[in-house]
Structure 1
Amino acid sequence: MEKTLDLYFLTEEGKTARLTVNDPKEDLTGSEIKAAMDQIVSSGVFFSTSGSFVSAKEARLVERNVVSIELE
């Protein structure tokens, strides 16, 4: 099963931007994720077409069951 951690941020224009982390650690807590998101915001490194990230909005752990099908 594939897992991703989707991090959603509000931008300067009030829009939502997303960063996706592949294969996140299994035992992450909400407070650890929030602290990391706050560091991302304060670093000012990430931005989108609607401006810099201004605050953490939401985080989602996404699990997908992916089955490759062999084509003959």
Structure 2
Amino acid sequence: MAKTLELQFGTEFGKTARIVVDNPKEPIDEAAVKQAMEQIIAANVFYTASGNLAVVKGARVVDRNVTEYEMI
């Protein structure tokens, strides 16, 4: 079972960009996540094909279960 925290940002060109954090500490502190996202935007260290990160759009925890089968 692999969980990720997906941070969703709006870019300066109106698109959505995501930053994914593996194995987030739970429970998620929503206020801390929003503050961290605002700091990421203010630091202006990430640039995407859709432009700089401009606004906080949301965050979500994605829980993914993978079952592999060995094929003989």
Distance, in Å, in 1 between the alignment partners of 2:24 and 2:71 is 31
Aligned partner of 2:67 in structure 1 is 67
Q: Give the secondary-structure state (helix, strand or coil) at the position aligned to 1:39.
A: helix
TM-score by length of 2: 0.90
Q: Match of 1:19?
A: 19
TM-score (normalised: structure 1): 0.90
**Considering only aligned residues, what root-mean-square deviation do their CA atoms show, in Å?**
1.0
Q: Percent identity?
A: 47
Q: Which runs of 5 or more structure 2 residues have no equivalent in the other structure?
A: none
Q: Which ranges of 4 or more aligned residues in structure 1 deviate by more than 6 Å?
A: none
Residue correspondences, number: 72
Gaps of 5+ in 1: none
